[in-house]
Chains A and B, each alone.
Chain A
Amino acid sequence: DQQVKQNSPSLSVQEGRISILNCDYTNSMFDYFLWYKKYPAEGPTFLISISSIKDKNEDGRFTVFLNKSAKHLSLHIVPSQPGDSAVYFCAASGYEKLTFGTGTRLTIIP
């Protein structure tokens, strides 16, 4: 089941620069998309979401972009900070359940 894919298992970014995390999906029935951040031995922490009727949502340093025709979403973090180092999961919702991607480990280099 590869309905939600994050093709980059890891990403390193210099502190202060922009981090861009990508996610692709295949199921056109998904109508809501979310990004979660996860530290080891903790549960996923909700970051930001976007409805399929929008193409952008912004919350502070975090912006999510949705390209429905390409079935692609991305999370931009600017400026990146050392505390942003974690695993980031995108998730998609069509009814009740969330379908998660495999995650991207983001490392912010001081």
Chain B
Amino acid sequence: EPEVTQTPSHQVTQMGQEVILRCVPISNHLYFYWYRQILGQKVEFLVSFYNNEISEKSEIFDDQFSVERPDGSNFTLKIRSTKLEDSAMYFCASRDPGQDIYEQYFGPGTRLTVT
């Protein structure tokens, strides 16, 4: 069964450093998403991406964040200058482009620890 994959599974970085989180969505999906879950809190939407552009973003997704689909398979989230409060699980998700299909399929997540 096709699945979303994410690398690395755990990333430790120092405050102020740049990190890139990588995702490989399910191959025929065309809608891509990033969510995060801070420990003990709910899963929060960050950004959605379709047709090589951002279609929606939350107030969390400020200028420090960017997304890119550098090739036909990868989808990346970059945090330019990490802060302590960026420590969280980051989940990538993808969705089938079919009509009336809203289910998003999630990857296993990347645990980001900012020290």
Q: Do A and B bind each other?
A: yes
SS class of chain A's interface: helix, strand, loop or mixed? Answer: strand
Interfacial chain A residues near B105, Cβ < 8 Å: 46
Does chain B have a CB within 8 A of A63? no
Q: Looking across the interface, which residue of chain B has its beta carbon closest to that of A102?
A: B42
Q: Given the known inter-chain contacts A42-B109, A43-B4, A43-B109, please indicate yes or no for A97 contacting B45, CB distance below 8 A.
A: yes
Number of interface residues of A (CB under 8 A): 23
Interfacial chain B residues near A96, Cβ < 8 Å: 31, 33, 48, 50, 55-56
How many whole Å from A33's CB to the nearest CB in chain B?
A: 9
Does chain A have a CB within 8 A of B104? yes
Q: Which of B91-108 contact A (CB under 8 A)?
A: 91, 93, 100, 102-108
With the chains together, A96 CA to B102 CA distance in Å? 8
Does chain A have a CB within 8 A of B58? yes
How many whole Å from B60's CB to the nearest CB in chain A?
A: 11
Q: Given the known inter-chain contacts A34-B102, A49-B102, please indicate yes or no for A97 contacting B56, CB distance below 8 A.
A: yes
Contact digits for B1-35, partner A, Cβ 8 Å, 1 yes 0 no: 00010100000000000000000000000010101
How many whole Å from A91's CB to the nearest CB in chain B?
A: 8
How many whole Å from B108's CB to the nearest CB in chain A?
A: 5
With the chains together, A101 CA to B100 CA distance in Å? 22
Interfacial chain A residues near B35, Cβ < 8 Å: 98
Q: Given the known inter-chain contacts A97-B48, A99-B45, please indicate yes or no for A45 contacting B56, CB distance below 8 A.
A: no
A residues sitting closer than 8 Å to B (CB atoms) are: 32, 34, 36, 41-46, 49, 51, 89, 91, 93, 95-103
B residues sitting closer than 8 Å to A (CB atoms) are: 4, 6, 31, 33, 35, 41-45, 48, 50, 55-56, 58, 91, 93, 100, 102-109, 111
- A-B contacts besides A42-B109, A45-B106, A97-B33, 8 pairs, CB < 8 Å: A34-B104, A42-B108, A43-B6, A43-B91, A43-B109, A51-B100, A98-B33, A98-B45
